[in-house]
Structure 1
Amino acid sequence: MSTGSRDVATTRAWVVARAAPAAEHPLRLVERPLPGTGPNGMLVEVTACGVCRTDLHVAEGDLPTHLPACTPGHEIVGTVLRTGSAVAGFRPGDRVGAAWLARTCGACRYCRAGRENLCPHSRYTGWDIHGGYARQTVVDSRFAYRLPSGSSDAQLAPLLCAGIIGYRALERAELPPGGRLGIYGFGASAHLTAQLALARGATVHAFTRAEEARRLALELGAASAGGAYDSPPEPLDSAILFAPVGDLVPVALAALDRGGTLAIAGIHLTDVPGLDYQRHLFRERTLRSVTANTRADGRAFLAEVGAHPPAVHVQPYAMSRADEALADLAADRVTGAAVLLAD
Structure 2
Amino acid sequence: MSAWAVDRPGPIADGPLVPVTRPVPAPQRHEVLVRVTACGVCRTDLHLCEGDLAPRRRGVVPGHQVVGLVAARGEEVTGLEVAQRVGIAWLRGTCGECRWCRSGAENLCPSSLYTGWDADGGFAEYATVPAAFAYPLPDDVPDPQLAPLLCAGVIGYRSLRRADLPPGGRLGIYGFGSSAHVTAQIALAQGAEVHVMTRSRDAQDLARSLGATWVGDAEETPPVELDSAIVFAPAGTLVPVALAALGRGGTLALAGIHMTTIPALDYDRHLFRERTVRSVTANTRADGAELLRLAAHIPLDIHVTTYPFDSVGRALADLAADRVTGSAVVTL
Calculate the TM-score normalised by the size of structure 1. Answer: 0.96
Match of 1:338 in 2: 328
CA distance in 1, matches of 2:37, 2:219: 38
The structure 2 residue matched to 1:175, chosen from 151, 158, 165, is 165
The structure 1 residue matched to 2:150, chosen from 152, 156, 160, is 160
**Does 2:258 match 1:258?**
no
8 Å Cα contact 2:31-2:73 kept in structure 1: yes
Structure 1 residue 76: deviation in Å?
0.1
**Does 2:308 match 1:318?**
yes
**Does 2:202 match 1:212?**
yes
CA distance in 2, matches of 1:278, 1:147: 47
8 Å Cα contact 2:25-2:33 kept in structure 1: no
Give unmatched runs, 5+ long, in structure 1: 1-10
Q: Runs of 4 or more off by more than 6 Å in structure 1?
A: none
CA distance in 2, matches of 1:109, 1:251: 35
Structure 1 residue 23: deviation in Å?
1.7
Amino acid corresponding to residue 98 of structure 2 in structure 1: C
Structure 1 residue 89: deviation in Å?
1.2
Match of 1:222 in 2: 212
CA distance in 1, matches of 2:179, 2:156: 6
Q: How many residues align?
A: 332
Q: Please give the secondary structure, in 2, of the residue aligned with 1:62.
A: coil
8 Å Cα contact 2:152-2:179 kept in structure 1: yes
8 Å Cα contact 2:85-2:139 kept in structure 1: no
Amino acid corresponding to residue 281 of structure 1 in structure 2: L
Give unmatched runs, 5+ long, in structure 2: none
Match of 1:126 in 2: 116
Structure 1 residue 270: deviation in Å?
0.3
Match of 1:273 in 2: 263
Structure 1 residue 147: deviation in Å?
1.4
**Quick one: percent identity of the two aligned structures?**
60
Amino acid corresponding to residue 185 of structure 2 in structure 1: Q
Q: Which digits, 9 at most, give the CA deviation of each residue in 1:18-37, with x for residues without a partner?
A: 10111222110010234321
CA distance in 2, matches of 1:306, 1:319: 28
8 Å Cα contact 2:4-2:19 kept in structure 1: yes
The structure 2 residue matched to 1:249, chosen from 239, 242, 251, is 239
CA distance in 2, matches of 1:113, 1:223: 38
Match of 1:48 in 2: 38
CA distance in 2, matches of 1:149, 1:241: 33
CA distance in 2, matches of 1:188, 1:336: 5
**Does 2:104 match 1:110?**
no
**What does 1:173-212 align with in structure 2 at a 5 Å threshold?**
173-212=163-202
CA distance in 1, matches of 2:300, 2:71: 29
8 Å Cα contact 2:25-2:126 kept in structure 1: no
Structure 1 residue 309: deviation in Å?
3.3
Q: Which digits, 9 at most, give the CA deviation of each residue in 1:69-120, with x for residues without a partner?
A: 0000000000111101111111111000010001001011100111000000
CA RMSD of aligned residues (A): 0.7
**Does 2:67 match 1:87?**
no
CA distance in 2, matches of 1:189, 1:67: 27
CA distance in 2, matches of 1:324, 1:204: 32
Structure 1 residue 146: deviation in Å?
1.1
CA distance in 2, matches of 1:12, 1:149: 26
Match of 1:5 in 2: none
Amino acid corresponding to residue 252 of structure 2 in structure 1: L
Q: Which digits, 9 at most, give the CA deviation of each residue in 1:208-232, with x for residues without a partner?
A: 0100000000000001111000000
8 Å Cα contact 2:85-2:138 kept in structure 1: no
CA distance in 1, matches of 2:152, 2:292: 12
